[in-house]
Amino acid sequence: MEEKRIPLAWTVRWRRIRSQTIPIACFAAALFASGWLWRWHGASVQGVGEVDGLRVDITSPTAGLVIALPSQRRGQWTVFDRVTAGDIIARIDDQQLEATKSLLRRDVKDLIDQVKQLEEQQAAGGAEVDESVRRALAYEQSRLQAIEQLASTPAPMGANEARPSDAAPPELSEQVAAETRDEIVRMREARRALDVRWEELSLRTGLLEIPAPISGTLVNVYCWPGQIVHPGGLIATIAADHGQHIVGYVPEHSTIQPKVGMRVTLRARMSGAPRLTSEIEEVGQMIEQLPAHQRAIANLPQWGLPVRIKMPAEAVLKPGALVDIVFHTADAR
């Protein structure tokens, strides 16, 4: 007797597929995806890095009173103001410099009096004064008067204005008496010493206006007009607006040996941030402790090998931003 199968309805067959075939297919797909992800991540190691920005401290080159923090936009610099390289950050009244200039003017006046006294002695001698002596004394007197005038100017001068004429002094003739010749040589050496002192003072005068060495943002202002600063005292801190590179860490327990040129993938810790490709520029020589804000658990110390990563040209990352790093060992060279 021939057996006949009772045909199953499609609803029953579909229920069987859903209960048996689909779970097996999903398991196989998940297994394949896990293997692919494991293989992709097996040749890499996760790390964390921070965009390193340049910070420059503005310090006072001398002791003095802060006169102004001159800003063309606000009248006075304050925190988070944008500065451009070359902007004057502070003006300082150097009281010690003024005292030194006063002492220089006194020494110049004393030497001028000595030159005039020698002229009077030559004229009172009865004999005709040698023309070369007259020219030499006039030259020394004009140089001393120039130094005196420059030292009496309250405002800073440029490099060309702050330097007296460099014309060669006139030579003395052989007929000049030895005593007179020695006295003129002594005065000439004394005047040259005053020239050197004035050049040093003119350089210090130029430092009374302190310019910004870089463009960026003022992140700290440490003193205000009316306060006294000491040599090396902090006036302000400027932070560059753009990061120069990224400093990351390879975890200490990792078997990865970072090398210059190794490819890395970067991703900023923000919503929708794209993945960027870069490479290692330099590798540190010793294991260091990670900064607290870069650790997975802030109060749990972690160590790693620091590496410097090239900043991608297309990256828009502010200094201090944290980035996740994937190191690709297959691309190390």
Out of 6-20, 162-176, 198-212, 293-307, give the one with best mean pLDDT.
293-307
pLDDT at 43: 47
Exposed, middle or buried by CB within 10 Å (0-12, 13-18, 19+), for 255? exposed
Better-scored residue on pLDDT, 43 or 168:
168
pLDDT at 141: 87
CA distance linking residue 30 with residue 37, whole number of Å: 10
72-80 long-range Cβ contacts below 8 angstroms, 24+ apart: 76/225, 77/218, 77/221, 77/236, 78/218, 78/221, 79/218, 79/219, 79/220, 79/221, 80/217, 80/218, 80/219
Whether the pLDDT of residue 117 is over 80: the answer is yes
pTM equals 0.57
Exposed, middle or buried by CB within 10 Å (0-12, 13-18, 19+), for 141? middle
Instruction: Match domain 37-53+242-331 to its CATH number in 1.10.260.40, 3.40.50.1220, 3.30.300.180, 2.40.30.170.
Output: 2.40.30.170
Binning pLDDT at 50, 70 and 90, where does residue 72 land? confident
CA distance linking residue 29 with residue 310, whole number of Å: 38
SS3 242: coil
Q: Domain boundaries in the chain?
A: 37-53+242-331, 55-93+208-239, 95-206
pLDDT for 231-241, tens place per residue? 889 999 999 88
Phi then psi dihedrals of residue 132, to 5 deg: -65, -35
pLDDT at 294: 84
Nearest Cα to Cα of residue 243 among 332, 150, 164, 309: 309
Whether the pLDDT of residue 177 is over 90: the answer is no
**Average confidence (pLDDT) over 65-79:** 88
Whether the pLDDT of residue 45 is over 70: the answer is no
Whether the pLDDT of residue 165 is over 60: the answer is no
CA distance linking residue 155 with residue 158, whole number of Å: 10
pLDDT at 308: 93
The two tokens of residue 83 are 């500065």
**Average confidence (pLDDT) over 241-270:** 87
Phi then psi dihedrals of residue 154, to 5 deg: -75, -30
DSSP of 87-111, one letter per residue?
-EEEEEE-HHHHHHHHHHHHHHHHH
**Average confidence (pLDDT) over 5-34:** 79
Phi then psi dihedrals of residue 287, to 5 deg: -70, 135
Q: Give the C-alpha distances (Å, rounded to integers) separating 62 from 153, 199, 214, 231.
A: 20, 17, 21, 4
DSSP code of residue 19: I
Least confident of 4-8, 60-64, 158-162, 175-179: 158-162
Whether the pLDDT of residue 245 is over 50: the answer is yes
In the block, residue with structure tokens 């990351």:
248
CA distance linking residue 121 with residue 110, whole number of Å: 17
The architecture CATH gives domain 55-93+208-239: Beta Barrel (2.40)
User: What whole-number percentage of the chain has pLDDT above 90?
Assistant: 25
Least confident of 75-89, 143-157, 206-220, 263-277: 143-157
**Average confidence (pLDDT) over 40-56:** 75
**Average confidence (pLDDT) over 196-220:** 84
Whether the pLDDT of residue 155 is over 60: the answer is no
Phi then psi dihedrals of residue 48, to 5 deg: -130, 145
SS3 11: helix
Least confident of 141-145, 205-209, 235-239, 266-270: 205-209
Whether the pLDDT of residue 158 is over 60: the answer is no
